Structure 1
Amino acid sequence: MAHRETFNRPDEPYNDLPALPPLGDLETKAILKAAIDAHVALAELRSAAKTLPDDGILVRAIALQEARISSEIEMVVTTNDELYRALSQQEEFTDPQTKEVLRYGDAIWLGYGHLRKGSAMDVPLLQRLASVILKFDLKIRESRGTRVGDPRTGRVVYTPPIGCERITAMLENLLEYWHTESTVDPLVRLCVIHYQFEAIHPFPDANGRVGRVLNILFLVSQGLLDKPILYLSRAIIEDKSGYYKGLRKVTEYGDWETWVLYMLENLSVTAIETRRRIEAIHHELEAAIDYAEASMRTGYSEELIRLVFSQPYTRISFLERAGIAKRQTASLYLQELERIGILQGEKRGREMYYLNRRLFEILGL
């Protein structure tokens, strides 16, 4: 594979970051083979996702795993329990770390809604994504001061370009590459786009999280996924050294092959893991429907069981909003599901939360 001139001056801003498309061969034999495997895994995931019992809440719960793990990379830590309970309660009862993770989820859905309306990706949307995550208006960097360091040693390993005008032009070039039809495999283009965005590093903060949101949105924009359910951050956090090594090899040696193969392998593995998780949810739902029908003394309906599988925590008000039952009867139905072991009740303040333990475990794998 052709290499460009080495850039290995970590203390200097990379103002000469090459524009897209990259030079050199992006589709070596090894890359094409890995891309085929990734396409197969994504197609199987896309098919499995059609069985999800809820197109909104459960898909959101799965997407929140991406939000939690992606935020953990940035040292914003919360637990699955806090995260899923936050879906079920009012914002004032949610801790700050969980709120920040939820905002990452909001950014995913903002971008997804933008694409669903047929709108094109543009620089203002990138700014909105970053602003939603951090909950204040974030502008493109104007001056120097942003550097990427090795978290273990604190040593500077990369300094991104500086200057709002220069950075904006680089982002516009990236988005032109995003939108332009190409003979290059879209999964390979995804790898290129992710590298380029991280190399531009356009904002003072949230660049990693915005870049990982763009991964999901690009897959949706190319028709490779219908729903934002593939979360690559787990693979990154499990092999941070491989991730940063791949990025640096592109920067320092123009070595795209190492980087693209790393990303394609993680795409395949993550798609397979996510498909298995979805299949497990579907299996548990069908088993719960049969078991509840045979075991409940009162209140059984398939609609009720599907509702308690729409997210890990259920409250009485959920049944009321769904028109299944009024408050007192809804409480009895949930207690009945607790009696037969499908749900586990827990009182928080004056409110009862009913945990679907098995769904919680599957989502938290």
Structure 2
Amino acid sequence: MAFNKNEPFNKLPDLPPIDFQESQDIFRHLAKASRYLGELNGLCASLPDPQLLINTIVLQESKDSSAIENIVTTQDELYKAAAEEGTASHAAKEVLIYREALYIGLKKMQAQKNLLLTNTMIEIVQTIKQNNSGIRNVPGTALKNAINGEIIYSPPCCEDVLREKLTSLERFINDPEASPLDPLIKMAFIHYQFEAIHPFADGNGRTGRIINALYLVQQQLLTQPVLYLSSYIVKYKTEYYRSLRGVTEENNWHDWVMYMLTAIIETAQLSTKKIRNTLSLKEDIEKNMKQALGSSFNYDLLQLMFALPYLKIELLENKDIAHRQTASTWLKKLVEADILKPQKMGRTTYFVNYRLMDILSTN
């Protein structure tokens, strides 16, 4: 693989790598990753209302994927923004836009006979950037060390080359005959290749991580895009970039595949734990709510508490769950029962499902 970091890598080889060898440690990690991912998928498939928890889990993935790009928001900011607070921070809005981009990508893929195509990738990045971004067509793109400005990598250039490489990547993603390797290993290849192609002027990292989630759904390894993969990358960010560079500079596919399989193992376990703990909490809170509210218990309110852990009176009104006075009465009773905790911010009082926030904040 001829590579010069100061020149566009137009000779980036197509997938699959011709000299990749599956080692015993890769086989062992692959077996574990498949098992834990299967457990997570089975749990999601058994949920009576999967969208309830999926929205919450995906928002966590959005938060961590954005953090990799130094778009950092707190849990409080994020869930206040999700509760339709108009004064949300810029970072919180960016995270919510990321979640929107993921769902747009999923809908687009499903509408295109489950094919993950270049136009889907473009629509994802346009949503992330909130503009009409397209394939890069200006030379001179280079990834640099943020501290000393040294060029680390020069991706391929320009639009005709990038489209050719994306077309080849499309074939590898969508054609089951392109490689006999396990889809989880192929996902590691796909993620590297997309990042190496670097087809957009900005937003490549977040788009690439959305492609991971969509590919797992496409391959029917997950029914919903709930793998909390970015949490692992945030924790091991230096190793992530080092492993990517190891493929480019040394053709070291082994360490990169091991990194990604380990990420799947840990994040599948984490997502499963969060979902199980959330289901258990929901069951407990339902019992306590019935005692606190008596005959006025409202199941839609229970659902909303888990979809949006930061509630406010206006939100219950806007969702047509209760009129203002009734909403105020219910929320006060839930505070008295220690089900919610009030948190005053300016003129607004939020009612926080604090135990759910504890679950979501645990890594």
* TM-score in terms of structure 1 length: 0.92
* Partner Cα separation in structure 2 for residue 201 and residue 345 of structure 1: 45
Tell me, yes or no, if structure 1 residue 180 matches structure 2 residue 172: no
* Partner Cα separation in structure 2 for residue 198 and residue 25 of structure 1: 19
Q: 1:281 aligns with which of 272, 278, 282?
A: 278
* Partner Cα separation in structure 1 for residue 5 and residue 189 of structure 2: 21
In the TM superposition, residue 297 of structure 1 has moved relative to its aligned partner by 5.2
Judging changes above 3 Å, is the alpha-carbon distance between structure 1 residues 237 and 323 closer, same or farther for their aligned structure 2 residues? closer
Give a deviation string over 1:117-166, Cα, whole Å, max 9, x none: 33422212211111111111112112322212233443211110011000
Matched ranges for 1:32-181 at <5 A: 32-50=27-45, 52=47, 54-90=49-85, 92-117=86-111, 118-181=113-176
Partner amino acid, structure 2, of 1:106: E
Give a deviation string over 1:288-313, Cα, whole Å, max 9, x none: 12223334456224443333222211
Judging changes above 3 Å, is the alpha-carbon distance between structure 1 residues 181 and 119 closer, same or farther for their aligned structure 2 residues? closer
Between 1:169-178 and 1:69-78, the stretch displaced more is 69-78
Query: Which secondary structure state, in structure 1, belongs to the residue aligned with residue 152 of structure 2?
Result: strand
Identical-pair percentage: 36
* Partner Cα separation in structure 2 for residue 133 and residue 304 of structure 1: 31
Q: 2:244 aligns with which of 244, 247, 253?
A: 247
* Partner Cα separation in structure 1 for residue 139 and residue 18 of structure 2: 28
Query: Which secondary structure state, in structure 2, belongs to the residue aligned with residue 291 of structure 1?
Result: helix
* Partner Cα separation in structure 2 for residue 276 and residue 139 of structure 1: 39
Between 1:17-26 and 1:216-225, the stretch displaced more is 17-26
In the TM superposition, residue 53 of structure 1 has moved relative to its aligned partner by 6.4
Tell me, yes or no, if structure 1 residue 25 matches structure 2 residue 31: no
Between 1:34-43 and 1:47-56, the stretch displaced more is 47-56
Query: Which secondary structure state, in structure 2, belongs to the residue aligned with residue 241 of structure 1?
Result: helix
Kept after mapping to 2: 8 A contact 1:198/1:211: yes
In the TM superposition, residue 35 of structure 1 has moved relative to its aligned partner by 1.1
Partner amino acid, structure 2, of 1:364: S
* Partner Cα separation in structure 2 for residue 242 and residue 321 of structure 1: 45
In the TM superposition, residue 317 of structure 1 has moved relative to its aligned partner by 4.6
Tell me, yes or no, if structure 1 residue 16 matches structure 2 residue 11: yes
Partner amino acid, structure 2, of 1:245: R
Kept after mapping to 2: 8 A contact 1:346/1:355: yes
In the TM superposition, residue 51 of structure 1 has moved relative to its aligned partner by 5.3
Matched ranges for 1:161-240 at <5 A: 161-182=156-177, 183-240=180-237
- Name the residue aligned to 1:265: 262
Kept after mapping to 2: 8 A contact 1:41/1:268: yes
Tell me, yes or no, if structure 1 residue 309 matches structure 2 residue 311: no
Partner amino acid, structure 1, of 2:267: T
- Name the residue aligned to 1:361: 358
* Partner Cα separation in structure 2 for residue 122 and residue 111 of structure 1: 10
Partner amino acid, structure 1, of 2:226: I
Judging changes above 3 Å, is the alpha-carbon distance between structure 1 residues 324 and 53 closer, same or farther for their aligned structure 2 residues? farther
Judging changes above 3 Å, is the alpha-carbon distance between structure 1 residues 57 and 93 closer, same or farther for their aligned structure 2 residues? farther
Judging changes above 3 Å, is the alpha-carbon distance between structure 1 residues 116 and 48 closer, same or farther for their aligned structure 2 residues? same
* TM-score in terms of structure 2 length: 0.92
In the TM superposition, residue 112 of structure 1 has moved relative to its aligned partner by 1.4
Judging changes above 3 Å, is the alpha-carbon distance between structure 1 residues 189 and 356 closer, same or farther for their aligned structure 2 residues? same
In the TM superposition, residue 189 of structure 1 has moved relative to its aligned partner by 0.4
* Partner Cα separation in structure 2 for residue 228 and residue 245 of structure 1: 26
Give a deviation string over 1:65-87, Cα, whole Å, max 9, x none: 12111111111121111111111
Partner amino acid, structure 1, of 2:258: L
